């Protein structure tokens, strides 16, 4: 049960709830319920492909920052064009796959700035997805990658920083190494976050919210433990309370 601590006691609530549903009404209901209990919302491919810009604007209209999680991955020119097309939406975060390479990430960073100028909006913070949290060492080895997941994440993150990305999407288990290698200003957005009493489901590299935030995560992406709860607002508030109790407001 929530301790009843107000989330306003925490200067910045790092929890972004993943609205991973193609149902617009359900997503809007969740957005309304979660206002004041989370720091932002994540809209992914499942929702965006179903509802596009109009659906995005319906969710953004609830006033929370939005992480537009489209994981763009194509040749540099195509990714840059897509980012310029998305600029009028003005998401807080937008991402690409680091696996697209240095030139693609550099083109994405340039397009985010140029597109925002043309649209008269604030440029999004650009993130590079390193290794999906559903993948472990054995999965990488089966794809011909000899490095461990942690080694590959560090390699891709360094390349992302060198090519204009503002941060990366990584698992909680890479936070400490990334902070040491890339500094305190580089954004670390961490999915695979599960409260201690939640099932890991299809995620392999997971951690509790308090543990991940304590290591230095900037954004904690939480989906099903909130959205599939009987009371999503209470579930979100309980996570925020756990962060306050563990010193996230210090």
Instruction: From the candidates 42, 71, 122, 250, give the one annotated as an active-site residue.
Output: 71
The pLDDT assigned to 194 comes to: 84
Per domain, the residue ranges of the chain are 7-245
**Global confidence as pTM:** 0.89
Position 187 scores a pLDDT of 98
Secondary structure E strands in 64-105: 66-72, 93-97
Give the model's pLDDT for residue 3: 36
Phi, psi of 137 (to 5 degrees): -55, -45
pLDDT mean by block of 10 residues, the chain; 250 residues: 40 91 97 96 97 98 97 98 98 98 98 98 97 90 94 97 97 93 97 72 67 95 95 95 71
CATH tag for 7-245 (out of 3.40.50.2300, 3.20.20.70, 3.30.420.40, 3.40.50.720)? 3.20.20.70
Distance from C-alpha of 80 to C-alpha of 96, rounded to nearest angstrom: 10
Answer whether 73's CB lies under 8 Å from 91's CB. Answer: no
To the query of whether residue 71 is one of the catalytic residues in this protein, the response is yes
| pLDDT, position 171 | 87
pLDDT at position 61: 96
Q: What is the pLDDT of residue 5?
A: 37
User: What is the structure's pLDDT at 201?
Assistant: 52
């Amino acid at each position: 049960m929530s301790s009843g601590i107000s989330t306003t006691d925490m200067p910045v609530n790092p929890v972004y709830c993943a609205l991973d549903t193609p149902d617009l009404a359900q997503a809007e209901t969740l957005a309304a319920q979660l206002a004041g209990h989370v720091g932002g919302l994540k809209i992914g491919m499942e929702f965006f492909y179903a509802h596009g810009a109009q659906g995005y604007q319906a969710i953004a209209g609830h006033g929370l920052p939005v992480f537009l999680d489209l994981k763009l991955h194509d040749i540099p020119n195509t990714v840059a064009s897509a980012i310029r097309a998305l600029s009028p939406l003005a998401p807080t975060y937008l991402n690409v796959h680091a696996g697209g390479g240095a030139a693609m990430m550099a083109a994405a960073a340039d397009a985010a700035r140029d597109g925002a100028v043309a649209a008269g909006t604030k440029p999004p913070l650009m993130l590079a997805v390193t290794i999906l949290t559903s993948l472990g060492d054995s999965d990488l080895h089966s794809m011909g990658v000899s490095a461990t997941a942690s080694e590959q994440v560090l390699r891709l993150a360094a390349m992302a920083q060198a090519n204009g990305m503002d941060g990366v999407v990584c698992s909680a288990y890479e936070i400490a190494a990334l902070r040491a290698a890339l500094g305190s200003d580089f954004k670390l957005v961490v999915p695979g976050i599960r409260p201690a009493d939640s099932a890991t489901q299809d995620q392999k590299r997971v951690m509790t919210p308090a543990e991940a935030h304590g290591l230095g995560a900037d954004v904690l992406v939480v989906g099903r433990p909130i959205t599939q709860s009987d009371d999503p607002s209470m579930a979100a508030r309980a996570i925020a309370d756990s962060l306050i109790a563990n010193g996230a407001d210090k």
